Amino acid sequence: MALVWLMVFLTSVSGLLQMEEDPNLLIKNLRMEPGERRLTWDLHGNASEIMCFINSKLITKAIDNNRYCQFQVVPLCEVKNFTISLTKGPPFLMGIQYPLQEGNPGAAAQRLDCWVHDVDFLTCSWEVGREAPSDVQYRLYWQELRTHREQECPHYEMDDRGKHVRCRFNDVSRLPKQLQILVRGTSHGARIPCLDRSVELSEIERLSPPNITAMCNKSYSMMEWKASSHVNLRFEYELQIQKGSDPAYTEKLQENFFQIHNPGNYMARLKVKGFFRNTWSEWSAPQYFACDLGEDAQWPNWLLTTLVLLGTLLALGLAVVLCGRYSVLQKLFPPIPHMKDPITDNLEGSKLVAWEASRASREDCPVAESLDSGGGIQPATAGPLGPSLRPPEMGPIQIAANKSAGLLWQNKHVHPPVLKRKLAFHIQDAPALERFQNPQLAFLAQVPPKQCQDPTFSLEETFLLQ
């Protein structure tokens, strides 16, 4: 190899010397245009075909009338030899080195390796250069090939000397699918060359083996799985199956399912790789499936115990819920006991008896009633349905009053049936006291003692029709 490069160098030098002596040389001014990622030259005359090499490896041929070679990636750190040659005509070979070497190559980071793992993460690791100064520190960047946009890695790991030796990007889905990874070094006393590597994320992914799910009975078993990746879309699988004590066998698949007939009880495990890739994942953990329990097969003791425990807990929970529910309902809506009405329970027919607070405090108030000619109370209005409706017919209303008990009246004979009636009484100029009540019940209103001196009042009834 050294002899080959010596010949290339001598040929290149001779070509340059020829350029000075022969202004009609076919190719002149060989140069790299890194922004366009192409090797170009000045062509004087016609050339049949020009081929481009990197480190003696044929990469591509010239395009645009043999004026340049286009590369997908151009190195940013590592020095490489770029050469061109003619396929026909007199022998010709010309070359340059790119990029120019800066600093001590032994101080640059070494053994750069990057991989995608666990679906979402990109991790890169490297080693400290053998000749790096003691104060060297490294930082990693990715650069987009098309736009040259750069971003530094956010999560570094250090060795025991405090040097960055590993870094992780958390969200692979946000990264370009093709990247140029650069590790740059800094030091106060020396220039540290960078280290770069071009990667395609789909090629460096280490896939995780998927889990297998299965539905089965004595006749067949259907297994399914799903591989996850942000950068690979198609996959190949190897499925290993072992039935009972039979030897294991392997199926190569592109689908994410597989069916077994008469499966019995079996073990399965799986590994995966990208469809166009060569690196397989690790095997998944073995998974066991029992598909033939038999008609008289007994359930395992642990399963029976679990079912009994679950049933007991379910019954206790249901009992607690029901008891708690009815207890809360009783607290919120307690039943109303049958209470003795001190007014209506002691009234018979149209008789009304006023009770007394005590003999010592007894002081009856004279009552002036506002009654109609039929012995009933004069209604003030026909109710909320409008004055056009006739008020219901009323039986006689009994009224009694004293200082202690207040005013009492009752009307047990109301026709037609009504939903409610509003009773109001007026004492002198005081605000009216109103009550809504069931039409069949008596009414009690407490009269302030100071108004008992002249308890002239009027009584109004308003009926709400059904």
Check: CB of residue 168 under 8 Å from CB of residue 212. no
3-state secondary structure of 464: strand
pLDDT at residue number 353: 43
pTM score, whole prediction: 0.56
- Given a cut of 70, the residues of the chain with pLDDT beneath it are 1-24, 293-304, 324-466
- What the block records as the tokens of 60 is 């591509």
- Which residue carries 């007394």 as its tokens? 356
> Tokens 């076919």 correspond to what residue?
26
- Count the neighbouring beta carbons within 10 Å of the beta carbon of residue 402: 21
Mapped onto helix, strand or coil, the DSSP state of residue 85 is strand
pLDDT of residue 325: 64
Q: What is the pLDDT of residues 327-359, one digit of tens each?
A: 655 666 666 665 555 555 554 444 444 444 444
CB-count exposure of residue 394 (10 Å: 0-12, 13-18, 19+): buried
Give me the residues paired with residue 198 across strands.
180
- Quick one: pLDDT at residue 364? 47
pLDDT tens across 267-290, in order? 999 999 999 888 899 999 999 999
Q: Which sign, positive or negative, has the C-alpha torsion 160, 161, 166, 168?
A: positive
168: enclosing H helix or E strand: strand 164-169
| Per-residue pLDDT, 139 | 97
- What sign for the dihedral angle of Cα 424, 427, 431, 433? negative
Predicted pLDDT of residue 242 = 95
Q: Are 257 and 250 in contact (CB under 8 A)?
A: no
pLDDT at 453: 46
Q: Which residue has the tokens 């004026």?
A: 67
For position 82, what pLDDT does the model report? Answer: 96
| pLDDT number for residue 55 | 93
**CA–CA gap between residue 300 and residue 226 (Å, rounded):** 31
Residues 6+ apart with CB under 8 A from 137: 163, 164, 185, 186, 187
3-state secondary structure (DSSP) of residue 125: strand
Domains of the chain, each with CATH number or no CATH? 2-98 (2.60.40.3850), 105-205 (2.60.40.10), 211-290 (2.60.40.10), 344-465 (2.60.40)
